[in-house]
Amino acid sequence: MCGIAGLIYKDKTPVKEETLRKMTDKMSHRGPDAEGFFVHENLGFGHRRLSIIDTGESANQPFHFNNKHVLVFNGVIYNYIELREELKEKGYLFNTNSDTEVLVASYDYWGEECVKKFNGMWAFAIFDSKNNKVFCSRDRFGIKPFYYFSNDNKFVFASEIKPILEIEKIEMVNIQILLQYLIVNLTGHFNETFFEGILKLPASHNLIYDLKTNEFRIYKYYDIEFKKEINKLNLEESIEIFEKKFEESIKIRLRSDVKIGSALSGGLDSPYVTTIANKIIDKQNNSGFTAVTVGSLDKKDDESKLAKLIAETIHVNHDIVVPKSDEFRHDLENVIFMHEEPFADLSVFMQNFLMKEANKLGVKVFLDGQGADEILLGYSRYTAAFLRNHDFISNLKFLKKVKSHYDISILEAGKIYFYFSSYFVRKFRLQRRGAILKNKYLEIINFSKLKKLTKSYKKIFELQKNEIFHFLLPDILRIEDKNSMLFSIESRLPFLDYTFVETVLSINNNYKIRDGWSKYILRRNLEKFLPDEITYNSRKIGLNPPVNHWWPRSEKILETINNSKIIQEISKKKYTFIADRDLEWRLYNIAVWEKLYNMKL
């Protein structure tokens, strides 16, 4: 896992290596093992390396291939061994054991179609000297970031926003994104950021930059395929294919030349990851595998006891960290700065402490459970979609057992249904939240994304695709990348193997929510390894932060919010009390982010 950067001057100004170094120095945490640069006239690449596969110097980047291509690459191609054998049969010779060399050789042979051959996570750029173009790509689900900026005289890209700010001083807020974050609570956006003019290459997209014309085009190369033959399987067959595909996903993600660890909560997702990984690693006699749990000062949300039970049951090395309030306060502004854009809530800090602990243990590759809720209908709001897609009798049976499904009452399920099924109800409620804004700002909020999401509740497959590509998952993955890379850790997500995602989204939805249980098909596989206390626990905790311990109400919070020039401009009045603590956090986050990045409206 690494940090990449690139710069093209459209007016033919030569790129200087020292300029590229300023960019890569801003993300040295992403690659502490090596740095490298490539300059060709008005084009330059920079790279910071975190060595995971083939840790030797021969795999350092920028990587040169046969005097034709130069590559900078952030990510990992899990199926590089299979692709290397395929390319050897076609006459290619390899000088390293790295996935980096396989990636660029794949481009040499298959051209832009090479990305369809990859199973992995990536953001890369290849200078194709023969065709005088730069080929850029981002993985199917956007696990690895690719930011870029373009104006009349330059095109800049990087793994983070800070390197771009070294080249182009941008202090203007993208007001639409900021308002949607504050009022609509949307933080995952298709291609925009909180910085006006800085964009993201969307997941599943390629960008082709023509060095002759200084024009670029972006196109989509992948969409999730619904497989009818899987949808027709019965329950037992579905359980079997789920297990088989997930084990394949874990196996391929254990390819590494460094220490591997795993997150472990008291829920379902990371325990399943840890259990299967530990089973496979045990067969390889690798005792260095460690599961890491972040506990909470708030006992009602503390998962460490359940996590300890899981670790003892499956006989895995286990480490627990419980972050104290002074640690949170000490890291507060640094975490906001390193994340570069405002985020939804304090759970980000829980994951941040988790990654910090993994780093202390020497873990460089970390398995995590992100993506499971999106593909397995794990959130309580999916009750609205389930009810809209079933008949009256099925819905009565569902509501009768909804308490064990999602740990909510029938009344709460009804409220969720009416709220998430109606765009007008949602918009009305959000506009009431927006009453804190001056009318000119409330009136410009664009609710079209919310309308699209609400409409997709009519069809569960479309809803899940929207969540994966456009709404919730992009923000989760942004947080995952920032938190892991801050501590030079490569985070791998087995639930987001694209073949596994296609399989699970195609499985009959009645096997995902069944007999009073959400994620039923996962529970059925997990019950082979863990006691019912874990497998059939209906309460969903997640990384809930101990808000009252870490962040008690204070005049200092309100003072920080009221001193923000951005908030002064968009708000009707000063704040003396904010009942909604999530809203209070978003306002506070904006205020601190504004100060750290000198942002303006």
Q: Give the active site residues.
A: 2
- Distance, CA of 601 to CA of 599 (rounded, Å): 7
* Residue 428 burial (10 A CB sphere; 0-12, 13-18, 19+): exposed
- Distance, CA of 454 to CA of 452 (rounded, Å): 6
Q: Tell me the one-letter amino acid at 563.
A: N
CB 366 within 8 A of CB 355: yes
Does residue 62 have a cis bond before it (omega within 30 degrees)?
yes
Nearest to 209 by CA among 325, 354, 112: 112
Its sign, for the CA torsion 494, 496, 497, 502, is positive
CB 120 within 8 A of CB 75: yes
Structure tokens, 259: 């220490």
Sheet holding 69-77, edge to edge: 63-65, 69-77, 120-128, 133-138, 205-210, 215-220
* Residue 393 burial (10 A CB sphere; 0-12, 13-18, 19+): exposed
* Residue 56 burial (10 A CB sphere; 0-12, 13-18, 19+): exposed
- Distance, CA of 20 to CA of 345 (rounded, Å): 34
Q: What are the start-end ranges of the E strands in 189-250?
A: 199-200, 205-210, 215-220
Could you identify the residue written with the tokens 């009390």? Answer: 577
Nearest to 158 by CA among 52, 19, 278, 261: 19
**Angle, to 10 degrees, between the axis of helix 448-455 and the axis of helix 460-469?**
140
Q: How far apart are the first and last CA of the chain?
A: 35
CB 462 within 8 A of CB 448: no
- Distance, CA of 433 to CA of 184 (rounded, Å): 9
The CA angle 204-208-214, to the nearest 5 degrees, is 145
